[in-house]
Structure 1
Amino acid sequence: MGNRASASHLSASSGDKTQATGGSTLYELADLHGGGKIIDQFRLIYQSDDPLTQSNFNQFLRNTIKPFLYNDGHGKLVPVSTLVEERENYRLGGVRKTKRKLLQYKKYYSMTQIIKDQHDIDPGSLEHDEHGNPCRLVCWDIAKRGSVGENIVHLCLLLNNPFHTDLARRIIAVFPKLAMDIYLGDEYYGEGPLHMAIVNRDFFLAKFLIDLNAPVNEIACGKFFFPEDQKMKRVSNTNYEYVTVADDETDYEGFAYYGEYPLAFAACLEEMDICKLLIRHGAYINAKDANGNSVAHLTVIRNLPEMFDFALEHGADIYAKNNRGYNCLTLAAKMGNKEMVKHILELERKPYWTFGEVSCAAYPLSSLDTIDTESGLEGSIDRKSVLNIVVTSDNPRHLDLLDGLIVEILEQKWALFARKKFYQHLITYIVYLIIFNAAFILRPPFQPDPGTSHCVARNDTRQDYFLCPRVANGASKVIDSKDIGRLILELLTAGGSLGYLGSLIIDFNRQGFHIVFQSLVNAPTRFLFLLSCALVTISIPGLFICALTRYANVTWFLAIILAWPYCLFFCRGFRLVGPFVLMIGKMIKGDLLKFMLLYLIFLIAFSQAMVVSFAGTGGSRMFLNSPLRAIEGMFILSLGEFEEIEPEFDKAPHPIFVKILFVFYVVIANVLLVNMLIAMMGKTYETTVETRKEWKRQWAQTVLVIETSIKPKQRLQYQEKYSEALGDGHDGRAVVMRWQHDEIEKKRDHKRKIRKLNELADLLYKKDLEKRKNNKIANTIRNAINKGKTKPPTSNLESIRGKNLEMKNKRADILATVTNPGMILQATTRAGGSRPVSPQQNENTDNDASHQIVNPEEE
């Protein structure tokens, strides 16, 4: 945290200037080693209670620190452009480059303006000069700061111990404007004392700073506070001090990615008391950082269900999307966080009934189903939906999400339309493949006379051009029934290929390129089949032009090879062979690819060694006298065919050396590499068998591929069949599901009930305290009136009576929500403990021994 990294290692690549003992006059006052004039002086009076001594030390602080401040500690407005330029100088190690351009992207609209326009809050401590230019109030002189733009308060808080924290408090009390001063270096830009107090988990210091008007919506946008994979993608703007990112793609993994705002810092660190304090003083809970993540998003990233509930209770918008288009639910699915996905779904569901341990509820399909109903393109495929993310991802963590509600939706789709479409596609493909193979088998061999042209000028009918091989061979009978059947089959094959390609073009126009491309990625064998159809289509002219017949044959050879793997796509839909198809795919993409890479290295190396060994020997039967034939011969040797090549070894100039090479090659290629391939495939097989849900994901991908080929209107019609309207004034649809409670859900529900009872008990106790205070005031006034000391303040008495009546009514409403008002006290007696009281509660409540509240941890 802070500039500690610059003190621990002198790395020029970090973008910070090296912190040295004599590099800045700031370090004469205080440094990270616990030295400095101010620290030494404070150490002398730290334990003193003498008011005069304390007053003298405060005067010492004024005299010592004033030369480092603007306007004797009142600060001055510095243009944001100057601060951004200074930050760039820190990034470049102090070297000014006036020609360096600060990138400015229109799509990254100013964070400041976004917050002002949408949320109507103060984004920090920015002000404007007489010309309307954005400025920041800066207290500590920019030229007299530390190596990463820090001041003495930052140094003290960075050490994070009671001694230095007390000193920082003393300094801020003398110069209150320092509570708003931030780091100006690029590494920690924007981090202020309030951020550091939150990281240090110091509630009282945070409250002290807020009381001195420290901005609760300050943004810490330094490099240190970004995800690791975005630190080199940050973009500065001369008009605004906040930093954006040139690329939104990130995994959100970072050592200190806490969301930039103090409230986000407190939420990520699970400081609920500080969160309440910040919200009470105007912190906006839906403020977004450079990645578009709000507090709710960050609790999902950090896997903090309780803080997510806290954010939701305080007005967090869990449906807001970040820069990558993910709301809280879809973000949890993207990160493979099963706990948060389940937690959010439980909060969104609408319970219908509960019978013992069995419950029934409606789960809204918004952001859950692949069929979009909210973006204005009703019926289109939502690529950011939970279902699409889970099914199309290759991350093993997403396999755990393939159960419960997700599988229920997939099974509903399979039963309604996917299974029927699946068998229709299968039958159509089998018919096409039979016709294709029959046409290919019936094609006659093409053997033209070497002494004649491939196309002989003859006085034949136009029909003869379909029979180019027979014409070229000079057959006595140009056409027969076999040729007619072949022509019909070829035309049917060409027509089927055009039909498949036409349906692909329709899908592109209907769904868009990205959705169709993703479906082809999920089904690579389908892509190969469509490529086969394209080859058949471009070979159609070869049926009419004799000169293109040879090229048509080549394209048909490739097309027939690429058409057959599509069978594996349909095999994925059957539980009997589906897992084996998955194993074959994994072995080809992983094990076989690695093996071929290593095998080719040894094959080429030994084959070229053989070429050198047989150089100049000649011989028509020699396999090893050219580079290409040497590779062919060594490959045959690896298959164990020694009879034809082994006698040639004695013709080499050095036969013993050749035989030694041969032995080494056989050992490496046949023994080592082949056995390694077998071992890798065995491991892949075991891993795939252990992952039971892997086949289910392949089956789910088949369902989504079929869904992509359906018209949007039909998708909406099918969705209406497996879902129902939410009702009760809610738009959208939901899927109804019954489930049996597990132990985890039981414990979570129990904790929620206890927490609600605690909140009720807390509220009742505060109302009771308020009633006691009001009664005490009323009794005091009544006694004063009876004694004749003062006239009755009618307005006060009426106000107190009104408050007492309102309090009684509210308490009656609260008690009405609880079946047995004594259950709270009974639960308290069983727990035998008291609920931890937050610091702000401790200031407003007295030590009443009878106030015993249930502690969820103890319960």
Structure 2
Amino acid sequence: AMHMAVLWGHIEMYDLLREEWAARKGDNLEPCLGDRRNHEGQTCISLAAACGSVEMFDHVLTSKGQQMWSYGAVTCRLYPVESLDCGTPNAMQYMLRSGRAELLSLPRVRRLQDNKWEVFGRDILYERLLKHCLVLLIFQFALVLPRPSIRLTLDNLRALTEDWALLPRPVCEFIVVLTTERKLVVELREMYRSGLRGYLGMGRACAFENVCSVVLCTAIMAACVARASFGTEEPLVENIALVVASFAYWLYLAWFMLGFQLTGPFIISAFEMLGTDIPAFLMAVSIFMGAFASAMYILSTKSGLAFLMQDFEVCVMALLGQPNLQHFDDSLQVWPYVAKGIIIFYLITVVLVMLNLLIAKM
């Protein structure tokens, strides 16, 4: 009943049920009805954070407070963090997962976040950032060094110890693999504790960090398997895995930048543009690119999929400000006026109109 009152925003009914429960339970030590969980594991405060109004959430949080002392107009109240920031699922997880900024900006919730940041959050972020940058430098240094062209046998290990110039890359690779294995264990534990849905759905920033971690660990492990299977004579699969790992290592820094006031807004704006504005722009531009490339391909005397793809490539380069109009010499010779008109229409439509619309939307 109290969950239904929270769901529908009936503050008076919520208070009435609390008072009725307090009057009837007597010396019973059972938890309050508001602290019991429904079939989805939600307490009243976590349900209010998930789908309740701001007024309902603030009221439920206020009702959970316990007055410790009062001196004149000054009152000290203690608010338990159980179900608010502890346990799974809790109210803070729902706020982050749903992006409920109106709840996160409430004074008491904001004070909780600030206290967590000041006490241990900032130190943990700095420590993790320092470790990640150190491993990233070791990873990049290993890529610069020549790859050893010998297999790991006892005799070859003796040769490595005698030739010190061959040791730096294996040592760097060992450090990277060791740190990756430790991180993989941490991610698997978190995935087991929260479940796959909770692991990937705990807010956009957390989901980004988790995805980068999984991709990074998977890529490094894949590179190890490729090295063990094919050796250094056939590095194609290993190089592909290292490319993915390099992207994941560098993109992971974006998650750390979210914790700083100067860089956080830029990272958020960049991801919002990549998620909304850029896809919509590419979908609109692809219509004109397809029409132009197909028209110029028909006007030319060439045939084959390769030539059509070259026309698309020229369209993309024109969009980036590097048009190669000599590519359409065949079309200009056969249909000079028609081809010139199509080229001018494409440049005006895409390069001038569409790009300015994208800039104005941003």
Asked if these proteins are the same fold (TM beyond 0.5), I'd say yes
Work out whether residues 135 and 176 of structure 2, in 8 Å CA contact, stay in contact via their aligned partners in 1: yes
Change (3 A) 1:391 1:525: closer
Aligned-pair Cα RMSD in Å: 3.3
How high is the TM-score relative to the length of structure 1?
Answer: 0.37
Q: 1:492 to 1:546 in 2, by over 3 A?
A: same
**8 Å Cα contact 1:613/1:658 also seen in 2:** yes
Q: What corresponds to 1:368 in structure 2?
A: 84
Q: What pairs up with 1:534-549 in 2 under 5 angstroms?
A: 534-543=218-227, 545-549=231-235
Asked if the contact 1:497/1:534 (under 8 Å) is kept, the reply is no
AA matched with 1:334: A
Q: 1:388 corresponds to which letter in structure 2?
A: Q
Cα distance in 1 for residues equivalent to 2:146 and 2:242? 10
Kindly indicate whether the alpha-carbon contact (under 8 Å) linking 1:439 and 1:490 is maintained by their aligned counterparts in 2.
Answer: yes
1:647 CA drift (Å)? 6.4
Q: Which amino acid aligns with 1:393?
A: S
> Partners of 2:17 and 2:203 in 1: how far apart?
40
Q: Could you tell me whether the CA contact under 8 Å between 1:526 and 1:566 is conserved in 2?
A: no
Q: Which amino acid aligns with 1:516?
A: Y
| CA distance, structure 1, for counterparts of residue 354 and residue 346 of structure 2 | 10
Tell me, yes or no, if structure 1 residue 304 matches structure 2 residue 7.
no
Kindly provide the amino acid, as one letter, of the partner of residue 48 in structure 2.
A
Higher helix content, 1 or 2: 2
AA partner of residue 63 (structure 2): L
SS at match of 2:67: strand
Closer, same or farther: CA 554–324 of 1 in aligned 2, 3 Å = closer
Q: Tell me the residue number matched to 2:257.
A: 571
Give SS of 1:364's match: coil
Shift of 1:436: 0.6
Deviation at 1:629, TM superposition (A): 1.1
Q: 1:394 aligns with which of 96, 99, 102?
A: 99
Q: Give the distance between the partners of 2:225 and 2:38, measured in 1 at CA.
A: 52
Q: 1:504 to 1:297 in 2, by over 3 A?
A: closer
* Cα deviation, residue 432, structure 1: 0.6
Query: Which of these residues, 650, 667, 670, is aligned with residue 348 of structure 2?
Result: 667
CA distance in 2, matches of 1:298, 1:647: 68
Q: 1:430 to 1:680 in 2, by over 3 A?
A: same
**Alignment-derived partner of residue 56 in structure 1:** none
Q: Does residue 403 of structure 1 match 2:106?
A: yes
Asked if 1 retains the 8 angstrom alpha-carbon contact of 2:200 and 2:211, the reply is no
Q: Which position in structure 1 is the counterpart of 2:27?
A: none
SS at 2:41 equivalent:
coil
Give 1:437 deviation, angstroms.
0.6
Shift of 1:644: 5.4
Deviations 1:204-244 (A, max 9, x none): xxxxxxxxxxxxxxxxxxxxxxxxxxxxxxxxxxxxxxxxx
**Partners of 1:461 and 1:299 in 2: how far apart?**
71
- Matches of 1:499 and 1:318 in 2, distance apart? 39
Q: Secondary structure at the match of 2:167?
A: helix
CA contact (8 A) 1:649 1:659 kept: no
Unaligned runs of 5+ in 1: 1-293, 373-381, 447-454, 468-478, 619-623, 682-859
Query: Quick check: 1:611–1:625 contact (8 Å CA) kept in 2?
Result: no
**Take 2:209 and 2:337, find their aligned partners in 1: how far apart are those partners?**
49
Counterpart check, 1:626 vs 2:307: yes
Q: Distance in 1 between matches of 2:175 and 2:66?
A: 54
The equivalent position to 2:62 in structure 1, one of 346, 360, 363, is 346
Cα distance per residue 1:594-641 (max 9 Å; x no partner): 1122222322232122211113389xxxxx971211111111122232
The answer for the alignment partner of 1:607 in structure 2 is: 293
Q: CA deviation at 1:646?
A: 6.0
Determine the C-alpha separation between the residues in 2 that align with 1:498 and 1:584: 31
Partner Cα distance (1:600, 1:490) in 2:
42
Cα–Cα, structure 1 residues 560 and 607, in superposed 2: closer, same or farther, change >3 Å? same
Aligned counterparts of 1:333 and 1:676: Cα–Cα separation in 2: 38
Conserved? CA contact 1:520–1:526, under 8 Å: no
In the alignment, does 2:156 pair up with 1:463? yes
Aligned residue number for residue 246 of structure 2:
560
Give CA-to-partner distance per residue, 1:376-420, whole Å, 9 cap, x none: xxxxxx11x22221122224xx43443322223323333343333
Q: Name the amino acid aligned to 2:296.
A: M
For 1:368, what is the secondary structure of its paired residue? coil
- Of 272, 281, 284, which residue of structure 2 is paired with 1:586? 272
Q: Which residue of 2 aligns with 1:533?
A: 217
Preserved CA contact (<8 Å) 2:212 2:252: yes
In structure 2, relative to structure 1, the CA distance for the partners of 1:401 and 1:428 (3 Å cut) is closer
Q: In structure 2, how many angstroms separate the alpha carbons of the residues matched to 1:462 and 1:611?
A: 61
Match of 1:412 in 2: 115
Q: Distance in 2 between matches of 1:337 and 1:391?
A: 16
Distance 2:35 2:203 in 1: 30
> Helix, strand or coil: the match of 1:645?
helix
- Separation (CA, whole Å) in 2 of partners of 1:304 and 1:519: 28
For 1:602 and 1:324, the matched residues in 2 are separated by 48
Question: Which residue number in structure 2 is paired with residue 427 of structure 1?
Answer: 130
Once the 2 structures are TM-superposed, how far is the Cα of residue 338 of structure 1 from its aligned partner? 1.4
Give per-residue Cα distances to partners, 1:692-715, cap 9 Å, x unaligned: xxxxxxxxxxxxxxxxxxxxxxxx
Partner of 1:161: none
Q: Residue 603 of structure 1 aligns to which amino acid in structure 2?
A: M
Cα distance change of structure 1 residues 443 and 599 upon mapping to structure 2, 3 Å threshold: farther
**Matched length:** 345
Whether 2:321 is the aligned partner of 1:645: answer no
Q: Aligned to 2:167, which of 478, 484, 488?
A: 484
Hey, what's the Cα distance between the residues in 1 that align with 2:175 and 2:82?
44
3-state SS of 2:341 partner:
helix
| TM-score, length-scaled by structure 2 | 0.82
Output aligned runs, 1:80-99, within 5 Å: none
Give the match's secondary structure for 1:589. Answer: helix
1:567: Cα distance to partner? Answer: 0.5
Quick check: which has more Rg, 1 or 2?
1
Q: SS of the residue aligned with 1:415?
A: helix
SS at match of 2:99: coil
TM-aligned CA distance change 1:523 to 1:632, over 3 Å = same
Q: Distance in 1 between matches of 2:131 and 2:191?
A: 21
Q: Deviations over 1:684-739 (max 9, x none)?
A: xxxxxxxxxxxxxxxxxxxxxxxxxxxxxxxxxxxxxxxxxxxxxxxxxxxxxxxx
1:628-664 superposed Cα distances (whole Å, 9 cap, x missing partner): 1111111112223235536625654212212211112
